[in-house]
Amino acid sequence: MPESKIDEIDTEFDLTPIFRPKSAVVIGLSQKNPYHPGNAMFTKNLMEMEVKTYGVAPKYKEIEGHKIYNKINALPEIPDLAVLAVSSRISLSVIKEAAEFGIRGAIIVGGCFGETGKEGKKKQDEIVKVCMDYDMPFIGPNCVGVYSPPILDTLFLPSERMTKPKSGNVAVISQSGGVLVDQFFINCAEREIGISTAVSVGNKAMINETHLINYFEKDPKTDVIALYLEGFHVGDGRKFCINARKSKKDIVVYSGGRTSAGKTAAGSHTGSLAANNLIMAGAFKQYSVINPETEIELKNTLKVYSMLANPYRNYSTMSIHGDKIAILSVSGGHGVLCSDLLEKYNLSLTKLTEKQKDDVGFLLNPSASKIAGLNNPIDITGSGGNEDIVNILEYLLNQKNIEMVLILLVPQVPQLSMSLGRDIVNLGNKYKKPIIGYVPWTPKFSLIREALELNHIPCGNTIEEAVQMAAAIKQKGEGGIRKKFSHNSL
Amino acid sequence: MPESKIDEIDTEFDLTPIFRPKSAVVIGLSQKNPYHPGNAMFTKNLMEMEVKTYGVAPKYKEIEGHKIYNKINALPEIPDLAVLAVSSRISLSVIKEAAEFGIRGAIIVGGCFGETGKEGKKKQDEIVKVCMDYDMPFIGPNCVGVYSPPILDTLFLPSERMTKPKSGNVAVISQSGGVLVDQFFINCAEREIGISTAVSVGNKAMINETHLINYFEKDPKTDVIALYLEGFHVGDGRKFCINARKSKKDIVVYSGGRTSAGKTAAGSHTGSLAANNLIMAGAFKQYSVINPETEIELKNTLKVYSMLANPYRNYSTMSIHGDKIAILSVSGGHGVLCSDLLEKYNLSLTKLTEKQKDDVGFLLNPSASKIAGLNNPIDITGSGGNEDIVNILEYLLNQKNIEMVLILLVPQVPQLSMSLGRDIVNLGNKYKKPIIGYVPWTPKFSLIREALELNHIPCGNTIEEAVQMAAAIKQKGEGGIRKKFSHNSL
């Protein structure tokens, strides 16, 4: 079988010293420029992170009040990790020194290597050769670094300018440092999606996406592997897909360079030969790689996949096909917009029987009952209260022709109390069916939203986001089925 | 010409007493239930709005410490507006009383009329007859009311549960009260889009969208008319489009019931016969009606159209075709994603000449210059600072082959100072070309975003939102051209 050959990883490296170091040394700091990347990495790890942090720079005795060593081999211990913030001219000699001292992994953030042309590529190749000889893997060069909370943060941006996600079960691998610290970090922080390790791969001279996926595959902290990719080197796309299909983790790829304009831009940026988007989208589908189209869809996919990996979520996605959904709304317009969106995302409403409609009407308070819409979407109107929502939700969760309930909450109506989230949670936890919420995205309703989300009922900031979450749950079910099938057939 | 007949409005009503009343009376309050819609409307107008507010309820002398009258004709003056919060059973007699007293307009919020069937429709028709006889237009029934800041707010939700937009130049007409107070209000408040008047039309027994558009057409406060529609009664769609084409204001329609699932839901909700979506989308395009597809696109369209009406914005959209756009980014990945999105929204990048690329490189600081991407998208990388951005932006704004600049700011990089927004504004105001910003949506960067937006440089919360804004500017140019043509040919 030719697949096994393609699938083969040339070398496997131990990346633990890079991602879970006990001690690290930052090499290259400046006494003149407090914004020097080396200073940022040195002080943020010293002050904020768990890793024991040393600094090395020639000449200085201290920087910002902290002791500095003048040479790597003057350090009182052999650190696990070397972080280089030195010029590309001296990177090779520094890497050699680090390797000879016994350091087991490195991160090289500086640029002026392969991305600038032939000469830079030569410098880069020389470093790779040394690191291969010493079996010392390195991330980069030309990257923003690694974030591995609560241990390590070598992203050389001041922490006060960043929005850092909490520790959690999503690993992020990004071909763009900007997209990593901006789209990934801000969205994950906002939606309480935790990160196991985030890596900016830069020129990926030695360590590439496949090495990283293999590492995260075995990482007990990681359940979901998310990537920002601008394309693959020749052959790597296929290798990637085959590995993804074998993976027991969920693999989510957000792609840049989908269009001809984007492809041209990606060529200038990472030099990636972006594959034909249609081919890659098809391959991803075939190989169970989740491929959200927009930043917002990425966010909601990660939220759902991250949450579904939690052992306390109490339903299996295996039986969810996305065609038996109920909408429970307190606004008719919201129900209409949600119905449109379900169709857009290839999901569909279940048809309630006449008996079911009667039952729902009977469960409603009399004044809501007179004006409610009892077809699916169910519109209990602004006359409905907490009790109506909870009673109908329980009824719906007990129906065989309903596999998922979307509750569209508009707490602007005075009958709904702020305990609504908790009331839904108390009920929802008893049933083995997914519930997804929509709660308007204003701080004043955060009491409701947080009650739901902390108990694994994800909530969209817009109706479309709630529907994207439903689509992700459906996709998870399909992915599971397809993965099982693939494992058997391989 | 048959068009003139279709176009004809049967009757024109004076809606000023409803939307700009000097005094109003809320009829129907409760001493037992402080959440009664009448109480909410009475106290919020009394305490928060400019309109002089009276309350009428039988039996009570006061409610929550405020004087209450027992009959309409006991009021010390004839108010401009009557707001009914009474049961559908007595609505007819109350309306008669109000009309006989000389009140010139009404809002009926209660339900149990046309939306519940034959009997309700009969009650509703009787009210219409009285109001036609007395020439007293009314909004509703079965609606959440009218918001006309700073004068009137009859939306019967407690203000502390709402997120109210400021006063401004966008009129909103909604077939769903829920969508009005939620999607419209929250998005407009968040993006500082001001509202002239917002109307929940309910069953539109007497006053419908066409009357409202005619009113707002002449309203000097209104520049943009935004609608949430779930469809038209037979014939009304064509009438609507013809009026829209003649309008001197921008007409933006957000549609519910686009899909077959949504259409069915809309049928239950507003009884609208949602037209075929493809036909309506085509007609809207033909008749210069702007038709955003998503809630987020609606938000960005309103932001741009609202802003473009401001006399201090200093460029014409007439010459903008969306095919000569420059991207100025501090992150390569952002440039790639933005290029993809431009293509998605039918916009395109201009091709920079070799000289232009050299010029841009020369304008950059030496360390950024070495690693920058000089093709369009221009990627000045994290080594670029405020000065680099301002210098290159000025250069781009002076180029004939560039009609619009998208600046993708990632202020996470330490070289960018928080005065970046102001620096861009000081320059941008001098040039007659649109600039659109992307600033990551976190409170910590609001200093930059606010400097830009307060000076009519709109900013997206995501790169896609910035591109939607560029698309709206292009569309405005096209709409203007098409409208001019239509006026001539009619």
For residues A87 and A110, the answer to whether their CB atoms sit within 8 Å is yes
B117 in contact with chain A, both atoms CB, cutoff 8 A: no
* Beta-carbon separation of A230 and B440 below 8 A: no
CA distances B206 to A234, A311, A477, B196, Å, are 67, 57, 50, 22
Q: Which residue of A has its CA nearest to B189?
A: A442
Q: Which residue of B has its CA nearest to A378?
A: B265
Instruction: Tell me the C-alpha distance between A213 and A209, whole Å.
Output: 6
Higher pLDDT, B284 or B219: B219
- Token pair listed for A475: 């996709």
Please state the φ and ψ torsions of residue B37, each to the nearest 5 degrees.
-50, -35
Tell me the average pLDDT across B139-168: 96
Residue B141: asked if its preceding bond is cis (omega within 30°), the reply is yes
Length of chain A: 490
DSSP string, B430-456: TSSS-EEEE--SSGGGHHHHHHHHHTT
B337 in contact with chain A, both atoms CB, cutoff 8 A: yes
What's residue B461's pLDDT? 96
Residue B201 C-alpha, separation from nearest chain A C-alpha, in angstroms:
13
The class of domain A1-143 in CATH terms is: alpha beta
Residue A160 C-alpha, separation from nearest chain B C-alpha, in angstroms:
9
Residue listed under structure tokens 């009276």: B54
Q: Is B443 exposed, middle or buried (0-12, 13-18, 19+ CB in 10 A)?
A: exposed
Residue listed under structure tokens 């079988």: A1
Q: Where in chain B is the domain with CATH 3.40.50.720?
A: 1-141
H or E stretch including A23? strand A23-27
Residue type, A153: D
pLDDT band at B3 (very low <50, low <70, confident <90, very high): very low
Q: Is A388 exposed, middle or buried (0-12, 13-18, 19+ CB in 10 A)?
A: buried
Residue B150: asked if its preceding bond is cis (omega within 30°), the reply is yes
A222 in contact with chain B, both atoms CB, cutoff 8 A: no
Q: Which residue of A has its CA nearest to B258?
A: A340
Strand partners, A84: A27, A108
Q: Which residue of B has its CA nearest to A325?
A: B261
Q: Name the CATH code of domain A163-310 (choices 3.40.50.261, 3.40.710.10, 3.40.50.300, 3.40.50.1820).
A: 3.40.50.261
B369 in contact with chain A, both atoms CB, cutoff 8 A: no
- Token pair listed for A176: 């763009």
Helix, strand, or coil here: B89? helix
DSSP H helices, B68-184, are 88-101, 118-134, 177-179
What's residue A263's pLDDT? 87
What's residue A78's pLDDT? 98
Q: Which residue of A has its CA nearest to B332?
A: A269
User: Residue A452 carries which DSSP code?
Assistant: H
For residues B332 and B379, the answer to whether their CB atoms sit within 8 Å is yes
Residue listed under structure tokens 């609505």: B91
Residue B153 C-alpha, separation from nearest chain A C-alpha, in angstroms:
15
Across the interface, of B265, B344, B441, the residue whose CB is closest to A335 is: B265
* Beta-carbon separation of B412 and A440 below 8 A: no
State the complex-level ipTM: 0.92
What's residue A490's pLDDT? 28
pLDDT over 50 (residue B161): yes
Residue B40 C-alpha, separation from nearest chain A C-alpha, in angstroms:
10
Sign of CA dihedral A157, A160, A165, A168: positive
Q: Which residue of B has its CA nearest to A380?
A: B269
For an interface test with B, give the residue of A175, A337, A464 to mutate (most B CBs within 10 A): A337
CA distances A235 to A4, A238, A245, A273, B269, Å, are 14, 6, 16, 11, 54
For residues A153 and A163, the answer to whether their CB atoms sit within 8 Å is no
Sign of CA dihedral A222, A223, A227, A231: positive
DSSP string, B194-245: -EEEEEE-TT-SS--HHHHHHHHHH-TT-SEEEEEES-B-TTHHHHHHHHHH
Instruction: Tell me which residue of B195, B190, B227 sits closest to B208, measured CA to CA.
Output: B227
A340 in contact with chain B, both atoms CB, cutoff 8 A: yes
pLDDT tens-digit readout, B164-184: 999 999 999 999 999 999 999
Across the interface, of A115, A182, A331, the residue whose CB is closest to B176 is: A331
- Token pair listed for A257: 């360079």
For residues A183 and A196, the answer to whether their CB atoms sit within 8 Å is no
Residue A216 C-alpha, separation from nearest chain B C-alpha, in angstroms:
23
Residue listed under structure tokens 């317009």: A333
For residues B487 and B466, the answer to whether their CB atoms sit within 8 Å is no
Instruction: Tell me the C-alpha distance between B469 and B102, whole Å.
Output: 47
* Beta-carbon separation of B182 and A111 below 8 A: no
- Token pair listed for B428: 């941008």
Residue type, B120: G
Residues of chain B found within 8 Å of residue A160, distances taken between Cβ atoms: 444
Instruction: Tell me which residue of A63, A399, A16 sits closest to A212, measured CA to CA.
Output: A16
Return the minimum-mean-pLDDT range out of A9-18, A346-355, B129-138, B459-468.
A9-18
Residue B74 C-alpha, separation from nearest chain A C-alpha, in angstroms:
31
* Beta-carbon separation of B412 and A161 below 8 A: yes
CATH-assigned architecture of domain B1-141: 3-Layer(aba) Sandwich (3.40)
* Beta-carbon separation of B294 and A464 below 8 A: yes
Report the interhelical angle of B420-428 vs B446-454 (nearest 10°). Answer: 20
CA distances B383 to B388, B411, B488, Å, are 9, 12, 53
Return the number of other C-beta atoms located less than 10 Å from residue A208's C-beta: 18
Q: Where in chain A is the domain with CATH 3.40.50.261?
A: 163-310, 325-481
Q: Does domain A325-481 bear CATH number 3.40.50.261?
A: yes
Residue A149: asked if its preceding bond is cis (omega within 30°), the reply is no
Residue type, B406: L
Residues of chain B found within 8 Å of residue A144, distances taken between Cβ atoms: 382
Instruction: Tell me the C-alpha distance between B110 and B401, whole Å.
Output: 58
Helix, strand, or coil here: A102? coil
Length of chain B: 490
pLDDT tens-digit readout, A141-177: 999 999 999 999 999 999 999 999 999 999 999 999 9
Strand partners, B460: B438
* Beta-carbon separation of A265 and B413 below 8 A: no
Rg of chain B taking only CA atoms, in angstroms: 26
Higher pLDDT, B227 or B315: B227
Instruction: Tell me which residue of A363, A382, A386, A390 sits closest to A374, measured CA to CA.
Output: A363
DSSP string, A325-348: EEEEES-HHHHHHHHHHHHHTT--
B181 in contact with chain A, both atoms CB, cutoff 8 A: yes
B261 in contact with chain A, both atoms CB, cutoff 8 A: yes
Interface A–B counts its CB contacts (< 8 A) at 233
Residues of chain B found within 8 Å of residue A161, distances taken between Cβ atoms: 411-414, 444
Instruction: Tell me the C-alpha distance between A214 and A7, whole Å.
Output: 11
Residue B367 C-alpha, separation from nearest chain A C-alpha, in angstroms:
10
Residues of chain A found within 8 Å of residue B183, distances taken between Cβ atoms: 337, 462
Residues of chain B found within 8 Å of residue A172, distances taken between Cβ atoms: none
B124 in contact with chain A, both atoms CB, cutoff 8 A: no
- Sorted by sequence, the CB contacts under 8 Å of residue A123 that are 6+ apart come out as A88, A91, A92, A112, A113
Residue A261 C-alpha, separation from nearest chain B C-alpha, in angstroms:
5
B331 in contact with chain A, both atoms CB, cutoff 8 A: yes
Instruction: Tell me which residue of B266, B232, B227, B340 sits closest to A343, measured CA to CA.
Output: B266
For residues B282 and B201, the answer to whether their CB atoms sit within 8 Å is no
Residue A162 C-alpha, separation from nearest chain B C-alpha, in angstroms:
6
A472 in contact with chain B, both atoms CB, cutoff 8 A: no
What's residue A124's pLDDT? 96
Please state the φ and ψ torsions of residue A372, each to the nearest 5 degrees.
-70, 155
Residue listed under structure tokens 């009438």: B239
Residue A206 C-alpha, separation from nearest chain B C-alpha, in angstroms:
21
A293 in contact with chain B, both atoms CB, cutoff 8 A: no
Residues of chain A found within 8 Å of residue B412, distances taken between Cβ atoms: 157, 161-162, 181-182
H or E stretch including B361? helix B354-363
Give residues 397 to 436 of A whose Cβ lies within 8 Å of B: 410-415
Residue A201 C-alpha, separation from nearest chain B C-alpha, in angstroms:
13
* Residue ranges, chain A, pLDDT below 70: 1-11, 233-234, 271-276, 311-314, 479-490
Residue listed under structure tokens 């993006």: B191
Helix, strand, or coil here: A179? helix
How close are the terminal C-alpha atoms of chain A, in Å?
A: 10
A323 in contact with chain B, both atoms CB, cutoff 8 A: no
Residues of chain A found within 8 Å of residue B157, distances taken between Cβ atoms: 412-414
Q: Which residue of A has its CA nearest to B415?
A: A35
Instruction: Tell me the C-alpha distance between B21 and B80, whole Å.
Output: 5
Across the interface, of B260, B373, B463, the residue whose CB is closest to A343 is: B260
Residues of chain B found within 8 Å of residue A165, distances taken between Cβ atoms: none
B407 Rama class: left (phi>0) / alpha (psi -120 to 50) / beta: beta
* Beta-carbon separation of B176 and A333 below 8 A: yes
Biggest distance spanned by C-alpha atoms of chain A: 84
pTM attached to this predicted model: 0.93
Residue listed under structure tokens 């009673």: A391
